[in-house]
Amino acid sequence: MDLNESKDSFTQYLEFEKRFSNHTLIAYSNDIVQFFAFLETTYEIKAIEEINHTIVRSWIVSLMEQKITPRSVNRKITTLKTFYKYLLRQNLVTENPMLKIQSPKTSKRLPVFVEKEKMDMLLDVVDFGGDEEGQRNKLIIEIFYATGMRLSELINLKQANVDLYSLQMKVLGKRNKERIIPFNRELKNEIQKYIQSKKELPNEYLFETKKGKKLTADIVYGVVHNYLSQVTTIDKKSPHVLRHTFATHMLNNGADLNAIKELLGHANLSATQVYTHNTVEKLKNIHKQAHPKA
């Protein structure tokens, strides 16, 4: 089978059957394009049947030589593993070269989060302005911090899915998986005030432009980056950092790990367990500061 045909077939499968997000589709597609470019340049391979594990391994070596991080290399390996599982199911190949491929080891990276005192300063002290835009910007940050939802989940959050009576909102997560996230009365009041302030506008999405279109990811990212910059010096100042902050603060205050997993919409507990490392680091610091022999 021609390389480009296999790529097109695979991306259609990811989009229409697996229902991957646009962001994930682009990442997977770019990985396949890079792999195929390597095949054509280095080996002049045109057909999918010509690829074996030695060739795949040589691509991984070339990535490492280009100083691509082990984390990024592992993501590309994951893409190829998914790709070959698809090809085997479709009977487009008879062997899976990925079975002989080992992923490079990566150092565990702790999730970056904002300290509670700085989040309190952001929400209680920082001036967002009294206009509609300032009200919107503060609510964006409050919802991220109160729910731990993803950027894509926030921009696609429909007003009809925010239940002010039951104090819960329904979000559409990865692979179109729905989940319910509770929120408190304080946030309810803020949402209610914001909805009333924009009652003259179309109301499909909770956050919209003046033309009634949902906010773009770039706008929301810019809002979060701008206001986090006013209270913290951490390198990353993104909506995902607020997701990490939500999970870390919940865990530090005694929340059950399985409950956090459900709130975040993680498929596996292992993805949530990374936050326990931050708790351990906090305990170490407390011990060091408080114990006379530390």
The catalytic residue positions are 150, 174, 240, 243, 266, 275
Question: In angstroms, rounded to a whole number, what is the distance separating the alpha carbons of residues 168 and 181?
Answer: 5
Q: Per this entry, what is the length of the chain?
A: 294
> How remote is the C-alpha of 70 from its chain's centroid?
19
Token reading at 40: 């054509």
The candidate with the shortest Cα–Cα distance to 277, out of 120, 118, 112, is 112
Question: In angstroms, rounded to a whole number, what is the distance separating the alpha carbons of residues 18 and 201?
Answer: 35
Question: In angstroms, rounded to a whole number, what is the distance separating the alpha carbons of residues 162 and 207?
Answer: 12
Question: In angstroms, rounded to a whole number, what is the distance separating the alpha carbons of residues 214 and 204?
Answer: 8
Any alpha helices (H) in 126-238, and if so which ranges?
132-147, 151-155, 185-197, 217-228
Nearest-10 crossing angle of helices 70-89, 3-16: 90
